[in-house]
Structure formats: structure tokens, C-alpha cells
Structure 1
């Protein structure tokens, strides 16, 4: 049963892997259209619009009046597998990337001169990958899709001219679907579909210190989010066992801890034309230590338990702004993003590697109350080697992955 059931949680955790997820592990950095042009450098300190609710809620004290922000990120990922010694017959899977569209919404208002309220909605994890159905790694993965929605109400307090503090609560919904082939022995091969969802809750904290009128520092922390996932395993096959605890179709549950992050950012206005932005973000991926899935058909027995080997990661970024005119600001940025998994433990569901972001963007102040942002990023992803023979029944998957991603972001911000 373990080879039928365990993909549910693996799909939830891993379907947003590096060739489609754009930060370490299976996270998505696309939480702001204005920040895209700087590769999210300075995100916890820049406080340029209401998207600061996600990156550092303390930044709301730098935004005047009521503001509504909407952004849309169009993402095109490409990924190819090159076979080098796999033992299962089949093709190489084709381009398992695709298109995705991720929205963000933010609203901020003043409660008093010192206290601000805001709420944000975005997609912090997810995206979709799909191999050809008959590829040589079909017993490891065929389709993986993860959808998340994070709702993040927040408060900010301007303590004095130097200090601002912020706090928010996160309510995160996740839904995952995963399909793969399953070898039933004499009964043949069938397709297994796994699906599940859950709500989890966490919080985020932030602080900004205004060092000088031209320079500020920001720190931000997002807590872990614990998910208690419930789902099912379903297959068109009618193959069952004499034991009701070993039927192919069954409900399963599992516990999952999404990692905490800590960011340190700087924003400096060098002169009346140039701004410098930097950021370092640490993610505690080592929280993901073990995956235990339990059958939920009355037996409550363990379906499978897998020890993971994820590492904590660091993401480094730097960016520049240039005020070309009073109404036009140009942006650029670069980032280096560590992979959470080393070469020895890479699987078909996580074939990504370290990546470099190169970003460009612009802000147009259309009117005193309205501005538009556009940002573009290309991700260079290091080729990834895989030699997965952890489960002999699936065969050896051996080869290399090549991948890249392009992201175009548009954002509208309006004060009223």
C-alpha cells in the first residue's frame, strides 16, 4: 500500500518543485509586482506599497491613506529530463513545465495616525508540472499540482520616528492532486490519483528602523504553518485485497510542517536618483524531517514513513532603482537562491537546483493616486543530477534535468 498512498503527501509537499516553484524547496516568491523588478531585494525594508503586508507588515506605516493593490504574475517554466541509464522503458517525459497565473491582492487603511490595518491574499506555495503518461519515470510521478491561498490580516504601529512594528496572522488553505502509475504485479499497471486539502494557521512579525532619513533596515519573520492533511487515494482499477485495510482506494491523513523564514533587508536612497536595496532570507527547511502517512479506513495503521534530508537555505539579493523622471522609476535586481535538497536525495518530484534571478522592472506614476508596475525575471537553474533507486519496485531513474523559468508581473496600486 505504501507505494499507492505516500504520493499524496509527497505531491502536496513537492509539486511546486524548483523548476516551477521559484524559491527554495517548494515556495513561491511572487508576492508583489513592484518587488519583481528588484528580484525582491530589500523586500522587508522598502515599504513601497501595500504588498509590504506579506514581506513586513511594519512597512504599512510608510504608506499614506487607504491603498488597494492588485498584481498578476504570468509564469512560464520549462524542464527536460535527459536519460542516462534508467532501467524502466519509456520516453524522457517531454517538457514538464507549463504556464501558471498567480494573483496577489492587498488592502491597507489608517486606523489612527500611529496604527494601520491591512489584509493580503496570495499564493505562497504551488504550481503544476506534468510529464508524458508513459515516460520512464511514470512510477515516480506523472502529474503534480498544488494550489494554495494565504489570507493575511495585519496591524502596524509607528512607535516613533525611528521604529515601526508589525504583526499578522496567516490562514493558509492548500489543495493538492497527484497522479502516477502503480505496478500491481500480475494485475498489471494502473493510474493512481491522490487528492487532499487542509487549512493551517501561522503568524508573521516585522520591524523597521529608520537609521537616517535616507536609510532604513527591516527584519521580518514568518512562522511555521502546521497542516493536518486529509485526502484520498483513488484508481480506476478494481483490484482489491481480501483485507479491507489493503484496498487500493482509501482515505489517508498526514501531518506536515511548512517552514519558518527570517529576512534582513536594507533600503538606502543614495541620492535624488538612485536607491540601493539588499536582502538575505533564511528558510528552515530542515523542519521537514519526516513524512508519515496513515490509512484512515478504520485501521489507523501507518501506510509509510519516509525520513527526509532537507537543508536550511539562504537567498541573497541586491537591487537598484533609478528615478528617470518624476513619474518613471526603473528597476533591476539579481538574486542567488540555494536549493533545499542535495544531489544524493533528489527525486523526480524535486529535480531543481540552485538558481540565479536576473530582474528588470519599471514603475509609472500614472496620476497622484495611481501607479502601475511591470517586472520581468529570468531564472537560470543549474543542471540537476538524479540517481533515484530508493524503491526497487519503481526501477532506477538516472539522468540529468535542465530547466529555466520566465516571470512577467503586472501590478496596479491606487490610493483613495
Structure 2
């Protein structure tokens, strides 16, 4: 059973590993046991090999070897309601509200820890710490801002832990991280043609006309490197605190841009298909994405043989995400694509409790509050997140001495978010977009743990 589940998880990690519903586009969902407690105390609990991600120092508390494979089904909802959408000429942009921009998918993770019984332990984690998937119809009202946004990461994280004293353990790891990004949108070629003609009234019917749009499809990827550190201190045999840090990882993206005329015959009728094909020719792209550092402080206490409580506070350095700039190396070299982000650092707070009525079962509960890093003035349809309140429940069943299965379910109550993009500056060609999102997220997860 363990081998089959591990193989399935690895295959899914290579195939999916995207779609985020942490604050921003971080994925904190790297443990099903932790999810049941809303990840409260994740840096201090060290209850299984998933501690490799949250605090590698915790591996000193795990005897023998463990292999863990987990799958998280994330079902976000992001329904937009327009209040205004106008182009640079002040004319209304056609199109619907875009339906539900949230895209459901799987987030896998895999861990292996080894503790030979001395002071040294080591392990390997394969995770997807960042991801994003939103998608709208080609003809929706915000199509010049975004159609599809798909960011996937795979993080390979070998780690070591050392028990310095009977109470203090230290851990460290390095990360090799792969990122793959796809960003698509429509280009208002009718508006560009009208402006370049000096305002030829014959071209006015083409402005913000979907038949005159050009579909832009940008794809890029990269490998980057980082590190993580951890400290675990046992105040007593029942109580401990943990501190962990993950570094920034800079990705220098390179890839290709492809373009498609939505209705070439329509543009040909206006005598503009040749100009559109010449300007929007396939070409290379480049850009930089700096994924943020984070730090966590956690607390865990086994109050009685049956009851444990835990808490956690986490900081993420989202202020490093200040802009998304895509450079072109062909016909569009003089007009790079810029989206100013100006995100803020954010904080996450969590509390939880676990109840173990016997040797077979464990029940978990948790609550968390997750601040958004996105200022209202800089929110885009690509990432329409807001503050989130987590309610979590989970449980585990030990099949035998070596095999345990865990389940968890979380609902995220997400505040309605606002989009306030004016048709000026970098959004002059995209047009204005004002409205609000009705957001929510559900997560259902399963995990198999094999000890030997």
C-alpha cells in the first residue's frame, strides 16, 4: 500500500504541483496531520516526517525511518462582480463577469526521514511550496488584465538535524526549486490600431472588440536555490518550542511568447491582419520572480496523555514581490509588460488541539487567521485574495504498528476582495476594472505514513 501511494504522489508532484490557497500564492499545505490543526505548532510538534518542511530540527524526535505521502485537494472559489470596465477612451468594455475564476486541483507532497538512533538525523522532502491557478473565459470583461494564470513549483529539500543537547536540536536544509509559469491575457489590438491611426473614426468599431483581440500566451521556467533553518527546544518532556526560517529564492525566468488572432478574418476585413501578425510574432521572454522568505515560531504541549495543545505565528516577506516585469526580445522589446504589485509582509496566527482517546485514533481541531499581503490598490484578477479565517478538523487511524492513515478538512472563510484598476499608466492599454470578488476555499486531504 505504501509503495503504491508514494509512486502516485511522486507522479502527481511532477504533473501538477500548482494552485495556491495560502496567503498570496504560498502553499502551506505540506502536511495532513498539520492541516487538521490549521498548522498550529507546526514548527514545534514534530509529530511525523512532514517536520522536514516546517522545522528540520524536529527529525531528532522521530525514531527509525518514516515515509509519508500526502495529497491535498484544493477547491477555491473566486466569483467576480463588475462595477466598471472601460477602455482608455472611456467606452465600456464588453463581456461577462468571468464566472468562477478559481481552479480546483491537487497538491502532493512526499517525505522520508531517517534517525539511526544517535544525535544525527536526516531526511528529504519533495513539496510544492508556491502555486497559483486562476482562469477566466477568453471574452470576459477583464480579459485585458488576465485570462489564465498558472504557476507551479517543485521543491527538493534534503535536510539534516543534530541534537546538540538533550533539550536542544538544530536543523538545516537546502532547496533546489523548479518553477513553471504560464500567463495569458487578451491584447486590445483594436484600441492600439485606433490610437496609431491618429483616431481614424472608421476604426472605432474595432476598439475593445473581442473579434479584434490578440491572445497572448507567455510561458517560462527556471531552477533556483535556497535554504532553510530550524531550532527545537524541549522545555520539558511534554512541552517544546520551535523556530524555523526559509530563505528567499530568486528565479530568473526564460521562455517564449506566442500570439493568436482571435478572428483573423475580421481583422483582414479591416486590412489589419498583416499588421497584427507582424507586431505579435512569436518571441522570447524573460523576467524575475523572487519567492519570499518566511519565519515561524511554534509551541506544543502534551497536557495529558490524551490532550495536546499547540499554537503558531508565521511571518512571510511578501514585500519582496514588488513587480511582475516581462521583457520581450522581439517586436515587443520596446514595450515590456509591467504589473506593479507592491505587496506587504503578512502574518499568520493559529491555535489547535489534538485528542488521543487510545493507541488507534487521534482527533484534531484548529483555527487560524491569515492576513493578505495584497493592498487593495494593487490587487489584480490573477491573484484576487484577501484575509482568510481557517476552520480545520482532522483525524488519524493507525492500521497497525507501522502504517497510519490521516484525513483532514478545512474551510477558509475569505473576505470579499476589491479590484480597483484605473485606465492609466501600466493599465492604460488594459482599461479600467472595478469590482469585487466573493471568495472561499475548501481543502480535503489524505496522508499515508509508513514507519520502519
Match for residue 177 of structure 2?
172
Match for residue 399 of structure 1?
435
- Please say which of residues 332-341 and 234-243 is displaced more in the overlay: 234-243
Bigger proportion of residues as helix? 2
Structural mapping, 1:6-405, within 5 Å: 21-87=20-86, 88-111=93-116, 113-185=118-190, 186=193, 188-237=212-261, 247-297=280-330, 303-389=336-422, 390=424, 391-405=427-441
Q: CA deviation at 1:271?
A: 1.3
Structure 2 CA distance, aligned partners of 1:292 and 1:93?
25
Q: CA deviation at 1:240?
A: 6.9
Q: CA deviation at 1:236?
A: 2.2
8 A Cα contact 1:111 1:117, kept in partner: no
Scaled by the length of structure 1, the TM-score of the pair is 0.91
Stretches of structure 1 that go unaligned for 5 or more consecutive residues are: 1-15
SS in 1 for 2:413: strand
Stretches of structure 2 that go unaligned for 5 or more consecutive residues are: 1-16, 87-92, 194-205, 207-211, 265-272
SS in 1 for 2:42: coil
Match for residue 89 of structure 2?
none
- Please say which of residues 257-266 and 383-392 is displaced more in the overlay: 383-392
Structure 1 CA distance, aligned partners of 2:72 and 2:29?
7
Q: Using a 3 Å threshold, how does the CA distance of structure 1 residues 291 and 141 change in structure 2: closer, same or farther?
A: closer
8 A Cα contact 2:64 2:116, kept in partner: no
- Please say which of residues 231-240 and 297-306 is displaced more in the overlay: 297-306
Q: CA deviation at 1:195?
A: 0.6
8 A Cα contact 2:134 2:382, kept in partner: no
8 A Cα contact 1:194 1:234, kept in partner: yes
8 A Cα contact 1:361 1:373, kept in partner: yes
Structure 2 CA distance, aligned partners of 1:221 and 1:241?
52
Structure 1 CA distance, aligned partners of 2:338 and 2:188?
20
Structure 2 CA distance, aligned partners of 1:111 and 1:300?
56
8 A Cα contact 2:62 2:115, kept in partner: no
SS in 1 for 2:399: strand
Structure 2 CA distance, aligned partners of 1:271 and 1:240?
76
Q: Using a 3 Å threshold, how does the CA distance of structure 1 residues 415 and 324 change in structure 2: closer, same or farther?
A: same
Q: CA deviation at 1:36?
A: 0.7
Q: CA deviation at 1:295?
A: 2.5
Bigger proportion of residues as strand? 1
Structure 2 CA distance, aligned partners of 1:31 and 1:314?
18
Q: Using a 3 Å threshold, how does the CA distance of structure 1 residues 73 and 299 change in structure 2: closer, same or farther?
A: closer
Query: RMSD between aligned alpha carbons?
Result: 2.2
Structure 1 CA distance, aligned partners of 2:235 and 2:256?
53
SS in 1 for 2:53: helix
Asked which structure has the greater CA Rg, the reply is 2
Match for residue 3 of structure 1?
none
